[in-house]
Structure 1
């Protein structure tokens, strides 16, 4: 052979490569780190009321916002603020699971799907009870049940549809696409002891 050549037989480099290979063969730790990242990222989407692609959610309808003016703790989170977070159930239900081929994350709440995808809910006709009281010079007014002088009335509520716009909170954002390779690299460095 004409020219020059060099051969490296470095046991430290071989051992580091072997450790790296063992770490890559068992990615479960990386999957857990990725799952934790996606839980954080999804909760951040809910806090910012933004889809993973960066689009702001549609605001609540005036009727829905008016219903949210409530009592107790809910009174602080009222009106148009805190879409999907009045009770924080959806926010707190976000979790992940490691599967053989990767990570799954989401919510186990039944209503999470309609908030993610949007849709129409058919409300069946039903009966309900309202409390009313005759207020001087104003006529009959709705009052809270059990109010002094209140009279309960049974009313028929017609069937109707409720349309809920899509407010996607699950997905992969541009930030996530940058973070995942970094998470995997950190995991491999830590497992390989580099």
Structure 2
């Protein structure tokens, strides 16, 4: 077996700094949570990517109630306003506290008798399986790299 001992003050100090940084990732996690929250808000604003349009029936109902034209998931704005983020030493979280959030994120049957199909309009930066979208993963990777580099 080959064994290498590092006897270099600068390298040792750099490794010690790295060890201190990863002991509490709160600053990086805070940036990650804020980035995910911003991406979620952006998706509400641009209605997508890839959100299907409203059905003609829904458009007629909204016209009658004075809510059309308007943003798809923002008749009252409660869903978008309920977005929150949180961070700690080992977690970054974006959440929405409305019971009906999941039906809009993932789609499914709703209404009395579950006879209305709501298409998925994903506002959180995750796919149908719960994995982060590629742009979200790239953003998180950039944040982590900046944090570890000390920028």
Q: Same fold (TM over 0.5)?
A: yes
Deviations 1:69-113 (A, max 9, x none): 367xxx5x623x411023221112112233665323220111111
Taking the aligned partners of 2:23 and 2:6, their CA distance within structure 1 comes to 26
Give the equivalent residue in structure 1 for 2:97.
108
Give the equivalent residue in structure 1 for 2:76.
87
Give the equivalent residue in structure 2 for 1:78.
68
Give the equivalent residue in structure 2 for 1:180.
140
Deviations 1:35-77 (A, max 9, x none): 1111111111222222xxx4x1111111211222367xxx5x6
Give the equivalent residue in structure 2 for 1:28.
26
User: How well do the aligned residues superpose, as a CA RMSD in angstroms?
Assistant: 2.7
Give the equivalent residue in structure 1 for 2:35.
37
- Structure showing the higher helix proportion among its residues: 2
Give the equivalent residue in structure 2 for 1:62.
56
Return 161-170 or 15-24, whichever deviates more. Answer: 161-170
Q: What 5-or-longer segments of structure 2 have no aligned partner?
A: 127-131
SS at match of 1:106: strand
Taking the aligned partners of 1:8 and 1:39, their CA distance within structure 2 comes to 42
| Among 82, 85, 92, the residue aligned to 1:96 | 85
Alignment of 1:13 onto 2:3: no
In the comparison of the two structures, how many residue pairs are matched? 141
SS at match of 2:45: helix
Closer/same/farther in 2, CA of residues 181 and 96 from structure 1, 3 Å limit: same
SS at match of 2:44: helix
Closer/same/farther in 2, CA of residues 10 and 70 from structure 1, 3 Å limit: farther
Give the equivalent residue in structure 1 for 2:116.
162
Compute the TM-score of the two structures, normalised by the length of structure 2: 0.77
Q: What 5-or-longer segments of structure 1 have no aligned partner?
A: 1-6, 124-158
